Amino acid sequence: MNAAALQALIFDVDGTLADTESAHRAAFNHAFAELGLGWEWDGPLYIRLLEISGGKERIAHYWNEVHPDVKPLDGQAMSETIDHIHELKTAAYERAVQDGAVALRPGVLRLIESAYNDGLRLAIATTTSPVNIAALLRASIGPDWRNYFQVIEDASTAPKKKPHPQVYLQTLERLGLPASACLAFEDSANGLKAAQAAGLATIVTPNNFTAHHDFSGALRQLPSLDGVGVAHLRAWHAGRAG
């Protein structure tokens, strides 16, 4: 095992930095209602749909379930409609964040600040959209939130969704670091698989939507990052060979 010292932390966003999924679900339902689709994603359905990474991909998966006849008839029209649904959903989500409906999970901001001040490099590796990232972190950290993160990889730069490791591989490439010098932070099985496929030791903090997932192979599984400091991360990272 490479004994490289810890140099960077790589964070997923939705569910990891903040419990965003309830707000996302409400935003999807708002978009469906605005277009008169007659769809509504309740809690159990949304938990199942979260197995599909990516908002547009989730809509397409559901559409194919409830209207399997549409796809072969006019795929282009379907794609354009999905884009429009997602635009409406994103706008609704951004309004919810601005209204204070979403907050960072316990311990997240303290860890980001302490890691940054300790000289660790910080990055984001997510399959959510740049608009969603900016809305959340601008509201939670402030207008200078980008100063904390040297690298941001998202749905616009890494189109292959988790569990594919593309977003993590691109993040490592831009950091110029080996996976052995980094820790990833995730909340879902798909996220963990993506990080593991990129060779990253991963700390998982499940939430109500992902608590049932299989997190085998995670470096640590914690209820939150509350009370977790840089010293803990360095110790866990150094001892990962065991």
Average pLDDT of the chain is 94
Mean pLDDT of 180-192: 97
Q: Which residue has the tokens 């109500």?
A: 208
Question: C-alpha dihedral over 34, 59, 205, 213, to 10 degrees?
Answer: 130
Q: What percent of the chain lies above the pLDDT cut of 90?
A: 90
| Closest to 29 measured CA to CA, from 82, 94, 92 | 92
Instruction: Give the whole-angstrom CA distance, residue 212 versus residue 9.
Output: 25
- Does domain 8-19+103-238 correspond to CATH entry 3.20.20.80? no
User: Which is catalytic among the residues 12, 19, 154, 187?
Assistant: 12
Question: C-alpha dihedral over 169, 160, 133, 13, to 10 degrees?
Answer: -60
The whole-number pLDDT of residue 68 equals 81
Q: Provide the residue ranges of all domains of the chain, joining segments of one domain with +.
A: 8-19+103-238, 21-98
Residue 73 confidence (pLDDT) above 50: no
Angle at which helices 75-98 and 55-66 cross, to 10°: 130
The whole-number pLDDT of residue 112 equals 98
- Active-site residue, 118 included: no
The whole-number pLDDT of residue 241 equals 52
When pLDDT is cut at 50, 70 and 90, the band that residue 1 belongs to is very low
- Active-site residue, 74 included: no
User: Which is catalytic among the residues 14, 19, 154, 187?
Assistant: 14
DSSP-H helix ranges across 74-176: 75-98, 108-117, 130-140, 166-175
Residue 84 DSSP code: H
What global pTM score does this model have?
0.89
Instruction: Give the whole-angstrom CA distance, residue 99 versus residue 139.
Output: 9
- pLDDT tens digits along 141-159: 999 999 999 999 999 999 9
Mean pLDDT of 215-225: 98
Mean pLDDT of 48-53: 93
Q: How many residues does the chain have?
A: 242
- pLDDT tens digits along 93-122: 999 999 999 999 999 999 999 999 999 999
Q: Which CATH superfamily is domain 21-98 in?
A: Putative phosphatase; domain 2 (1.10.150.240)
Using alpha carbons, list the distances in angstroms from residue 95 to 184, 196, 223: 29, 34, 28
Instruction: Give the whole-angstrom CA distance, residue 215 versus residue 210.
Output: 10
Using alpha carbons, list the distances in angstroms from residue 61 to 28, 45, 50, 89, 210: 14, 12, 11, 16, 19
Mean pLDDT of 55-67: 93
Cβ atoms within 10 Å, residue 38: 8
| Adjacent-strand bridge partners of 14 | 18
Please list, in sequence order, all residues whose beta carbon lies within 8 angstroms of the beta carbon of residue 120, skipping any fewer than 6 positions away.
6, 7, 8, 9, 230
